[in-house]
Chain A
Amino acid sequence: MSSTANVIDIREVRKTYDEGPAALDGLSLTVRAGEALAVLGPSGSGKSTLLNLVAGLDRPTEGSVTVDGVRVDGLSETGSARFRRERIGMVFQFFNLLDDLTVTDNVLLPSQLVGAGRAQARARAAELLDHLGIARHARAYPGRLSGGERQRVAVARALMNRPALLLADEPTGALDTASGAEVRRLLTELNADGQTILLVTHDLALAEACATRTIELVDGRIVRDVSGHLGGTAGGSVVAR
């Protein structure tokens, strides 16, 4: 994969809900492969909305969203489901694990949805759980795990199909400091291994540790776009694109 290819290419996107003000207002953004982009911003600034559009969970009112070469905004429900299971991994603030499935079964789910080979999928899941240090909980149910462990299961699930893009919405938002730090380290390692990441967070420490680039949203517009994290080293551009 060429390191210059754009994994995300968002052009002039507007998103309004009902009669309300625009949640995203003429936003354009490109993210190259290998980048770890942190999206910061006050509550209600449109961060989750941006993430939903990228994941094909919602459609923009205007503009285009292209992810890994796929025009996401034009996809049907089925099409966007297929797009997600093949190219996107998602991690949420509240883990969103299925409580009535074991850890392994949760992790296996994405590969089962694409209909991957059983043995291969099991091997991959075991490898991920092992890599993320939760192999001993493989047969447990999520209810038994700590927050940090649960989030690592969620990350394992997100990585199952080797997504082109990992989306994370407040992945440390529900975690205590120690668990937060674990997840931070994990994401940083993943990015170091080449995983493209789009990360929504309030957690400056997370952005600092993990982001290769940071943008800040206010009222649905990018007000800052810097390489590294915000108080960053290399004096990046402070220009909205």
Chain B
Amino acid sequence: MSALGKVVRAGVGRRRVQTVVMVLTTMMAVTASIMAGGLVVASQAPFDHAFARQHGAHLTGRFDGGRATAAQVAATAHTAGVTAAAGPFAVVTASPQLGSGHVVMNGLPPLTIAGRAERGGPVDAVTLEKGHWVTGTGQIVLAATDNGPRFGGVGQTLSFPALPGSPSLTIVGIARSVSRTADAWVAPAEIAALTKPGAAPAYEMLYRFAQARSSADLGRGKDALAAAVPPGALSGTVSYLATKHTADQETATFVPFIVAFGVLGLVMSVLIIGIVVSGAVSAGTRRIGVLKSLGLTPGQVGRAYVGQALIPASVGTVLGVVLGNIASVPLLAQASDAYGTASLTVAWWLDLAVPAGVLALVVASALAPALRAARLRTVQALAIGRTPQVGRGRFAARAAARLPLSRAVTLGLAGPFARPARSATIWAAVAFGAVGVTFAFGLGSSLSAIQDGLNQDSPGQVTVNTFAPPPGPGDGTGAGMEAGPGAAPQPGRPAQADTAAVARAVAAQPGTAGSFGTMQKELAFAGVPGAVSVTAYQGDSSWGGLQMVSGHWLDGPRQIVVGRRFLEATGKHVGDSVTLEGDGRSAAVRIVGEALTVGDSGMEVAADAGALTAVGVAVRPDSFAVELAPGTDRGDYLRALNSALQPLGVEAFAQDSELSATVIAMDTMIAMLTVMLVAVAGLGVLNTVVLDTRERVHDLGVMKALGMAPRQTVAMVVTSVAGIGAVAGLAGVPLGVALHGYVIPAMGNAAGTHIPPVDLHVYHPLPVLLLALSGLVIAVAGALLPAMWAARTSTAVSLRTE
């Protein structure tokens, strides 16, 4: 070892920049791979994983305490087929108010609250995201939803003014139940205080079954439970399948994008490691010649160079694993929000597989050129190295010299042609970087455009609800369990105002640029099983329509606009007619367009009010959407409008487009992955330029001796890669656009919708021009540092270098 070991150690120590670059590159590559790999793995059935980890409840049963005792409910744990059970937990549904004093937020949806002393257990082991579990009365833990906690944060107060003594609870924690068994949890002793006087107590029991694959399995389980308690005591059940379906669909939209970025990151890592390691070894050809002249065998040379590459690569790999795991924390946290599952961590095997793969790659990349060099005749190896094979790129050099540019620049421009292989590697690194940037830009733009499109289901800057706020909170015992916890029980429908009067008041209000009313109604279409959720538009909605995939927005009576699912379900096309069935009447309505919609699982239909009146359904808008004239202050407008609306008993409020957690998570991932890709591309350039300037240190010294100033040296070195960068950028942009054109529709497919052209066509001339420059920017940024080093190297020293 000793002689060989010394050679290796000297090789690592002498080439400090090279070593640092190698450490940084492997670190970046490992970090990127772990992040990307972690996301890809996490996006494989995250619901199932989280569900398994929490021992999620296959079925949540609710029992009427008036018909069964707690002991009878508890005994259902021994029903055939049940493998694990938790409970009974007393549950209550109550409407809270957030805050106290003046700052009160009213009209919050009622919460299904379970009394539960422990968050763990054999079923539904809830994950705590913030704060702590309830430790006594006066405390409440809220369930996190897809978009974070429903409302309120740790430390805030929820009060229940409709209950005797108007109890108030402090939010002490936010927790996530994958199987969504409750909206909030309190200490069991608290339940009595939250129950309306005279209301029957209710119990919740959580079950896991041996067989729980299908709804049929769960149906059998439910029947067995119902039979185990007195008749009618099992008032409702919720199966995990619906929750799983929603979660899986959200996840599916992520997968194409994560995979695209992951693959891009992995290819890039492989490429850059190849470039850096083989570059380092090739640059050592002369040194290999010297070593061979001293009597090292080709095998020893190979081992020496692999060792030389492995030392920094191992350091980089270890750092990368650490960094990758750290960087994945916020990323996976956002992914878990987006997936609606409890926090994810990097799969443990990735922390082993990625380093192993990277190190294997390093060995392979080092071995090939080292063995090639080792097999060269010693004389040849000694002759190679200082300058490229003379004769290459002469034509380009002569052509460049004729350009009316400074000599330093024309020398730089000709540089790449003298070293075609090295130039090709820079080209590839920069092109990948440009693909990444272009793809990321398009992805970000499309996602926000799609988000805007989805927000069109609540258009306008101001909304007026035509239903007066409910007179009091809903009754304490929710019944509609089939809809899942958290769904508002149907309270007595509040009184609706005179919608025509509301429309007039809104239209008359100064500052109103446009307004229209909408009404939700479940209606039937001939040939479509079940009811379809129809939104009727009354008034001129041309400014607030949905984003169109094809066809046009509603502009006349008896028109409807539908989503892709509806078209697929009915086998119809845009332009066809379908029969809308109303109160005893039916009428043909025409599909005038396909829109971006995911409401009601993509079956939602937008209809002109005329279509509903045609089948005898009166349209009395639930709400009005209002667009303000430019320059109108929304606060002033709201105050004025609300005083005008007061006699009608309704209220107007500001409508803000919401940013979904999914989009925020995607934006974060896009940003992080892009930064990594660009950094790795820049490192690839830096490394290559370092090698290049080191090899040409003698020539650079000569030029400096002839009077080349530092700035001219920098210009020469930078232009030697700027051209390649510019060309690579130009090539990367169309590739990135193509990738985007493939991934976005795939994401749409996963979500069950087509993507409207406005969301797809985000590459406008100006951004494309800037993106095309990205290659140039990456190349220049990567070359600048080594160019400055080259300019600063002492001329006297470089001339001594043989």
B220 sits at the interface (CB 8 A): no
Is B397 an interface residue, CB under 8 A from the partner?
yes
- Please tell me if the beta carbons of A77 and B791 are within 8 angstroms of each other in the complex: yes
B791 cross-chain contacts in A, Cβ below 8 A: 77
Q: Which of B394, B397, B414, B708 contacts A81 (CB 8 A)?
A: B708
- Contact A114 to B707, CB < 8 A, known contacts A57-B795, A100-B418, A109-B407: yes
* CB pair A99 B706 closer than 8 Å: no
Min CB gap B647→A, angstroms: 81
User: Would B710 and A81 count as touching, CB distance under 8 A?
Assistant: yes
A45 to chain B, nearest CB (A): 16
Tier of interface size on chain A: 20 to 34
B391 within 8 A of A: yes
Instruction: Please indicate the chain A residues that have their CB under 8 angstroms from the CB of B372 in the complex.
Output: none
B781 at the interface (CB under 8 A from A): no
B711 within 8 A of A: yes
Given A99-B390, A100-B393, A113:B708 Cβ within 8 A: yes
- Tell whether B399 is near chain A: CB-to-CB under 8 Å: no
- CB–CB B709/A81 < 8 A: yes
Please determine whether A100 and B710 come into contact, CB atoms closer than 8 angstroms.
no
Query: In the complex, which residues of chain A have a beta carbon less than 8 angstroms from the beta carbon of B792?
Result: 77
**A102 proximity list for chain B (CB < 8 A):** 398
- Which residue from A77, A78, A96 sits with its C-beta under 8 Å from B705? A96
Closest to B712 in A: A113
Could you say which of B387, B703, B710, B794 contacts A99, with CB atoms under 8 Å apart? B387
Categorize the interface residue count of chain B.
35 or more
The minimal Cβ–Cβ distance linking A210 to chain B, given in whole angstroms, is 22
Query: Which residues of chain A from 144 to 197 have any CB-CB distance to chain B below 8 Å in the complex?
Result: 157
Tell whether, in the assembled complex, residue B707 and residue A113 are in contact, meaning their CB atoms are under 8 Å apart.
Answer: yes
Q: Residues of B contacting A141 with CB < 8 Å?
A: 390-391, 394
Nearest CB of chain A from residue B710's CB, rounded to whole Å = 5
> With A and B bound together, what is the CA distance between A24 and B123 in angstroms?
86
Cβ-neighbour of A98 out of B391, B702, B799 (below 8 A): B702
Q: Tell me which of A63-71, A84-92, A129-137, A220-228 binds B.
A: A84-92
Q: Is A58 an interface residue (CB 8 A)?
A: yes
Query: In the complex the two chains form, what is the Cα distance from A112 to B409 in whole Å?
Result: 11
Task: Report the minimal beta-carbon distance from B103 to chain A, rounded to whole angstroms.
Answer: 65
Whether B711 pairs with A78 at a CB distance below 8 angstroms is: yes
Beta-carbon contact of B699 and A98 below 8 Å: yes
Q: Which of B698, B705, B711, B712 has a CB less than 8 Å from the CB of A90? A: B705
* Distance A58 CA – B705 CA, assembled complex (angstroms): 11
CA distance A99 to B388 in the complex (A): 9
Q: Does A55 contact B (CB under 8 A)?
A: yes
Q: Is B706 touching A110 in the complex (CB atoms < 8 A)?
A: yes
Does residue B675 face the partner (Cβ distance < 8 Å to A)? Answer: no
- Is B740 close to A, CB under 8 A? no
Pair A84/B387 contact, Cβ less than 8 Å: no
Of B406, B407, B408, B701, chain A has the most CB atoms within 10 Å of the CB of B407
* Contacts known (A52-B796, A57-B795, A77-B791); A100 close to B390, Cβ less than 8 A: yes
Within 8 A of A (CB), among B362-413: 387-388, 390-394, 397-398, 401, 406-408
Q: Please determine whether B704 and A81 come into contact, CB atoms closer than 8 angstroms.
A: yes
Chain B residues positioned under 8 Å from A117 (CB to CB): none
Q: How far is the CA of A13 from the CA of B414 in the complex (A)?
A: 42
Whether, in the assembled complex, A105 has its beta carbon less than 8 Å from a beta carbon of chain B, the answer is yes
Asked if A82 lies at the interface with its beta carbon under 8 angstroms from chain B, I say: yes
A143 CB within 8 Å of chain B: yes
A-B contact count (CB 8 A): 83
- Given contacts A78-B709, A84-B706, A109-B407, is CB(A100)–CB(B388) below 8 Å? yes
B709 touches A58 (CB 8 A): no
Report which of A82, A92, A101, A157 forms a contact with B799, defined as CB distance below 8 A: A92
B794 and A96 contacting across the interface, CB-CB below 8 Å: no
Q: A85 near B706 (CB under 8 angstroms)?
A: yes
CB-based nearest B residue for A118: B404
Once the chains are docked, how many angstroms separate the CA of A229 from the CA of B799?
A: 29
Q: With the chains together, A97 CA to B390 CA distance in Å?
A: 13
| Beta-carbon nearest neighbor of B417 in chain A | A100
Complex Cα distance, B390 from A140, in Å, reads 12
Contact A84 B705 (CB under 8 A): yes
Which of chain B's residues have a CB closer than 8 A to the CB of A97? 702
Asked whether any CB of chain B lies closer than 8 Å to the CB of A235, the reply is no
| Inter-chain contacts of A52 with B (CB < 8 A) | 796
- Tell me if A115 counts as interface (CB < 8 A to partner B): yes
CA–CA, A83 and B397, complex, Å: 27
The answer on a CB contact under 8 Å between A100 and B706 is no
Instruction: Give A142's nearest chain B residue, CB to CB.
Output: B390
Q: Say whether B705 contacts A55, CB under 8 Å.
A: yes
CA distance A114 to B408 in the complex (A): 11
- The answer, among B394, B706, B709, B795, for a CB contact under 8 Å with A109, is B706
Whether A110 pairs with B707 at a CB distance below 8 angstroms is: yes
- Shortest Cβ distance from residue B392 to the other chain A in the assembled complex, whole angstroms: 8
Q: Find out whether the CB atom of A57 lies under 8 angstroms from the CB atom of B705.
A: yes
Contact, CB under 8 Å: A113 / B390: no
In the complex, A157→B705 CA distance in Å? Answer: 12
Asked if B707 contacts A96 (CB within 8 A), the reply is no
Binary flags per residue of B459-484, CB closer than 8 Å to A gives 1, else 0: 00000000000000000000000000
CA A88 – CA B708 in complex, angstroms?
12
Taking CB atoms and an 8 Å cut-off, the chain B residues in 404-435 that contact chain A are 406-408, 414, 418
**A219 vs B707: C-alpha distance when bound (angstroms):** 29
Contact: B390 with A109, CB < 8 Å?
A: no
Contact status B794-A113, CB under 8 Å = no
With a cutoff of 8 Å between Cβ atoms, the chain B residues found around residue A105 in the complex are 397, 401
Chain A neighbourhood of B708, CB < 8 A: 81, 85, 113
Partner of B710, one of A77, A86, A88, A92: A77
Q: Are A115 and B709 in contact (CB under 8 A)?
A: no
Which of B393, B406, B711 is in CB contact (< 8 Å) with A115? B406
Residue of A nearest to B404 (CB): A118
CB atoms of B709 and A90 under 8 A apart: no
Known: A82-B709, A141-B391. A109 touches B799 (CB 8 A): no
Instruction: Chain B residues near A90: list those with CB within 8 A.
Output: 705-706
Measured between alpha carbons, how far is A84 from B796 in the docked complex, in Å?
13
Q: Whose C-beta in chain A lies nearest to the C-beta of B701?
A: A96
Q: Which B667-717 residues sit within 8 Å CB-CB of chain A?
A: 698-699, 701-712
Q: A92-B799, A98-B699, A100-B397 are in contact. Are A86 and B794 (CB under 8 A)?
A: no
Say yes or no: A112-B407 contact (C-beta < 8 A), given A100-B387, A100-B388, A141-B391: yes
**Most central of B401, B702, B707, B799 by chain A CB within 10 Å:** B707
Q: How far is the CA of A98 from the CA of B401 in the complex (A)?
A: 14
In the bound assembly, the distance between CA atoms of A86 and B701 in angstroms comes to 17
Is the Cβ of B397 less than 8 Å from the Cβ of A101?
yes
Residues A113 and B710 in contact, CB atoms below 8 Å apart = no
B799 touches A96 (CB 8 A): yes
Residues 35-62 of A at the B interface (beta carbon under 8 Å): 52, 55, 57-58
CA distance A57 to B401 in the complex (A): 27
Chain B minimum-CB-distance residue to A53 = B796
**Complex: chain B residue closest to A154, CB-CB:** B702
Per-residue 0/1 for A188-211: is the Cβ within 8 Å of any B Cβ (1 yes, 0 no)? 000000000000000000000000
Q: In angstroms, how far is the closest chain B Cβ from the Cβ of A188?
A: 24
| Min C-beta distance of A142 to chain B, whole Å | 9
With a CB–CB cut-off of 8 A, which chain A residues contact B414? 100
**Nearest opposing residue in chain B for A86, CB measure:** B707
Q: Which residues of A contact B406 (CB under 8 A)?
A: 112, 115
19 further contact pairs, Cβ within 8 A, besides A57-B799, A105-B401: A81-B712, A82-B709, A85-B708, A90-B705, A92-B799, A96-B698, A97-B702, A99-B387, A100-B388, A100-B393, A100-B394, A101-B397, A109-B703, A112-B406, A112-B407, A141-B390, A141-B391, A143-B390, A157-B706
Question: A-side interface residues toward B, CB under 8 Å?
Answer: 52, 55, 57-58, 77-78, 81-86, 88, 90, 92, 96-102, 105, 109-110, 112-115, 141, 143, 157
User: Can you give 13 contacting A-B residue pairs, CB < 8 Å?
Assistant: A55-B705, A57-B705, A78-B710, A82-B707, A82-B709, A85-B707, A90-B706, A98-B703, A100-B388, A100-B393, A105-B397, A141-B391, A141-B394
Give the top 8 A-B pairs by smallest Cβ distance, nearest first: A85-B707, A112-B407, A81-B709, A84-B707, A96-B702, A78-B709, A57-B796, A57-B795
